[in-house]
Amino acid sequence: MRRSHLLVLVVTAFAVGCSDTPKTTPATTQPTRPSVDEQRRMEPCHPGCFPSGTLVVTPTGLREIQTVGKGDTVTLIGADGKPTSGAVETVFETCNKLIEVRTDAGTLTTTETQPLCLAAGGFREAGKLTAGEKIWRWDNGERKSVTVKEVSAPVREAAVFNLVVGDGKVFVANGFLARGKPPVTGHPQ
């Protein structure tokens, strides 16, 4: 019993420390998360994350990122721009500062370290993008190049989610192609 009280205290302290904590959902729909011990060993939001409400493309339609859990299937985009699908290995949740990547086709809210897909090939952390660079967007089932107009300074702090879909795999977050990768383990928080 003592251990469960400690877990509640740790989870409560974690939730209170974030200014935009997501609403809880019934246990039957709660995504599978790493244990508190696993989260302590992970570097916060490495290599990047998205806030609650970010829409993720799945074979059955759009889902808010906070509702996606271990074993759920999401749409993945291959290097050739063709969609496939794959299972989420796990979901990591933490609290981090958010930036906005403004493009000529919309805005993406994410963390500075979230790798986004460059139209020229490769990836770049969202916070290191510069005006004029081209990144990939997913629009009506097709990959399209869009131009970065501006990257804001951190705009707020919020609960954020990282879908672990495998090293180097790409999923769609709010219409933008983003690399998914497991958080680095072995780092104390």
* Residue 180: per-residue pLDDT: 85
Give every CB contact of residue 46 below 8 A, 6+ residues apart in sequence.
Answer: 113, 183, 184, 187
C-alpha separations of 179 from 94, 126, 167 in Å: 18, 11, 8
Q: What angle do CA 123, 82, 53 make, to 5 degrees?
A: 65
* Residue 40: per-residue pLDDT: 40
* Residue 82: per-residue pLDDT: 97
User: How many CB atoms are closer than 10 A to CB 107?
Assistant: 14
List beta partners, residue 161: 50, 93
pLDDT tens string, the chain, 189 residues long: the values are 444 333 333 333 333 346 444 333 333 344 444 454 444 444 445 568 999 999 999 999 999 999 999 999 999 999 999 999 999 999 988 899 999 999 999 999 999 999 999 999 999 999 999 999 999 999 999 999 999 999 999 989 999 999 999 888 999 999 999 998 665 554 333
How many residues can be counted in the chain? 189
* Residue 166: per-residue pLDDT: 85
Q: What angle do CA 70, 101, 19 make, to 5 degrees?
A: 60
Distance of alpha carbon 157 from alpha carbon 19, whole angstroms? 6
Please name each of the domains of the chain with its CATH number. Answer: 2-180 (2.170.16.10)
List beta partners, residue 85: 75
Distance of alpha carbon 44 from alpha carbon 183, whole angstroms? 8
Q: Which residue has the tokens 């769609």?
A: 172
* Residue 42: per-residue pLDDT: 42
User: How many CB atoms are closer than 10 A to CB 74?
Assistant: 22
* Residue 21: per-residue pLDDT: 40
* Residue 171: per-residue pLDDT: 97
List beta partners, residue 116: 124, 178
